[in-house]
Structure 1
Amino acid sequence: MGTPLGDFIRAKRDSIQPETLGLPERGRRRSPGLRRLDLAARAGISVEYLTRIEQGRDRNPSVAVVNALADALSLDAAERNHVRYLAKITGGECIARTRPAPPQRDVRPQVLHTLRLLEPGIAVVTNRLGDLLAHTSGYETLTGGSGLLDGDAPNLTRYVFTDPRARTFFADWDEIADEQAFDLWLGPSIENSEWLTAELAPTAGPDLTRRLNRHVVPRRGVLRLNHPAGPELRLHRELLDIPADAQQLVVLLPADDRTAEAIDELRDHRRGRLRAIS
């Protein structure tokens, strides 16, 4: 049985062409990417040890080994943070520990007050599972007609993977799907497992499970939306962590004048309106 750390290392190794690291081509091979032999040599560990890590038979590699593998794979800063996180949770799977608390769904009054100060801007409070917990009227205007906020407990991850409208609303649907799958690794593990098993995975299918196994670290570039009213919108995203509550405040800002003008036209000018969902 594999582990999150082993799955990531194997997937990353398979995605690297040897020539990009200055390694010679060794002829045809059965699988793509970097050979175990070459990765082990670059990291200064044995092939047998690397095999044990990838196959999940060694769940507690040292910090030095994890860093050496990160160097050998030429990981960027975001990928290095992810591989350290995976090493932590992989080691923790072998240790009996207290059941983690489910994700916080109540939004503190101070955070709600911050949202009110952002009106009529576009902002939303979410958690790593994709629950949309509170938002400004500007966010409701932006997503109106897309179906994202339908129902009593809107969830961005569920919407992306199970609602056909999401593939039209998000111009770069594949990238957004990568982001939502990646964020599931960062949520409370037991709550994630229950939610994925009972609700999301059966309906999301391979579009989700394939991304979970690939461990793609998202770039989170400009967000492009095809608004149901017609205009294509381009928005910058500012993510502000609220670590005490395991939540995020996401603020969306127009990336160009055309988007700013389109948003002004979409607004209904009802200031100060706020909807919270707990």
Structure 2
Amino acid sequence: MGTPLGDFVRARRDAVQPGELGLPERGRRRSPGLRRSDLAARAGVSVEYLTRLEQGRDRNPSPAVVNALADALRLDRAERAHLRYLTKITAGTCPSHPQPAPAPREVRPAVLATLRLLEPGVAMVTNRLGDVLAHTPAFAALTAGTGLLDADAPNLTRYVFTDPRARALFPDWDDVADEQAFDLWLGPSASAFAWSTETLVPDAGEALAGRLDRHVVPHRGPLHLAHPSGPTLRLTRQTLELPDDAQQLVVFLPADEPTERALADLLHKAGQQPERRLRAIS
């Protein structure tokens, strides 16, 4: 049985072309990317060891090996952080499948009070599984007509992968899908991750399953929204981690002046009065 760590190393090896590392092409191959022997040589490990790691038969590589693999694969900062995270969770993985269980949806009163202080700003409390746990009225106004909050227990990940309206709302749907799939790995617990994937993958299909297997590390930029009312909005996301709750407080700010004007008009029509001081400063 494979492991998240082994899957990630294999996916990154498949994504690197030999020419990028100054290695000669060796004719047609059944699979893309680097050969195991090429990566093993660059990382200073044996092919046998790399095979065991990719196949999940070795679950506890040393920090030196992890760093050597990161260097050999030319991972960027975010990819290195994900490699270290997968190393940590793989070392503690039990061979048996964790008992699936949904993540708690409760939000502490102090967090709700903090959220209220952000009104009339656009903000929500979520977790890495995509559950929308609380939000300001301005967030509801921003997402009105999109279908995101229609469910009794709204979930952004399920919305992105299963609701056709999501592809119209997010012009950069592939980037948003990469983000949501990647964040599942960072969920509150192994049991919550198992519950989310077991309930989501049958509905989302390869669009989600393939991303989970590839471990695409997203490079998060401004969020583009093609709002049903007409304007296209560019929003930055400022995220406050709540580690004791395994939740995040996310504030959405206009990334440019046209978005600031369009957002102000949209919220005004919805009866919200946005404060002009809530804007991104580069």
If the TM-score is normalised by the length of the shorter chain, which range does it land in? over 0.9
Superposition TM-score, scaled by structure 2 size: 0.91
Contact 1:103-1:246 within 8 A present in 2 as well: no
1:95-134, aligned counterparts within 5 Å?
Answer: 103-134=103-134
Corresponding position of 1:217 = 217
1:145-184, aligned counterparts within 5 Å?
Answer: 145-184=145-184
Deviation, structure 1 residue 129: 1.1
1:192-235 deviation digits (Å, cap 9, x = unpaired): 212322x2111111111000000000111110001010111111
> Using the alignment, how far apart are the partners of 2:250 and 2:21 within structure 1?
37
> Using the alignment, how far apart are the partners of 1:227 and 1:6 within structure 2?
40
Deviation, structure 1 residue 99: 7.7
> Using the alignment, how far apart are the partners of 1:214 and 1:263 within structure 2?
36
Task: Output the amino acid matched with 1:139.
Answer: F
1:170-208 deviation digits (Å, cap 9, x = unpaired): 1111111111110111111112212322x2111111111
**What 5-or-longer segments of structure 2 have no aligned partner?**
275-282
Does residue 254 (structure 1) correspond to residue 254 (structure 2)? The answer is: yes
Contact 2:201-2:208 within 8 A present in 1 as well: yes
1:65-144, aligned counterparts within 5 Å?
Answer: 65-94=65-94, 103-144=103-144
Corresponding position of 2:47 = 47
SS at match of 2:66: helix
Corresponding position of 1:269 = 271
Deviation, structure 1 residue 135: 0.6
Superposition TM-score, scaled by structure 1 size: 0.92
Deviation, structure 1 residue 26: 3.0
> Using the alignment, how far apart are the partners of 2:95 and 2:6 within structure 1?
18
Deviation, structure 1 residue 166: 0.5
Q: CA RMSD in A?
A: 2.0
Corresponding position of 2:241 = 241
Change (3 A) 1:99 1:177: same
Contact 2:102-2:196 within 8 A present in 1 as well: no
Contact 1:19-1:25 within 8 A present in 2 as well: yes
Task: Output the amino acid matched with 1:63.
Answer: P
What is the number of residues matched between the two proteins? 271
Task: Output the amino acid matched with 1:192.
Answer: F
Larger RCO, structure (CA 8 Å, separation 6 or more): 1
Contact 2:100-2:193 within 8 A present in 1 as well: no
> Using the alignment, how far apart are the partners of 1:249 and 1:214 within structure 2?
28
Contact 2:52-2:58 within 8 A present in 1 as well: yes
Corresponding position of 1:191 = 192
Bigger drift between 86-95 and 34-43 goes to 86-95
**What 5-or-longer segments of structure 1 have no aligned partner?**
273-278
Corresponding position of 1:275 = none
> Using the alignment, how far apart are the partners of 2:111 and 2:146 within structure 1?
26
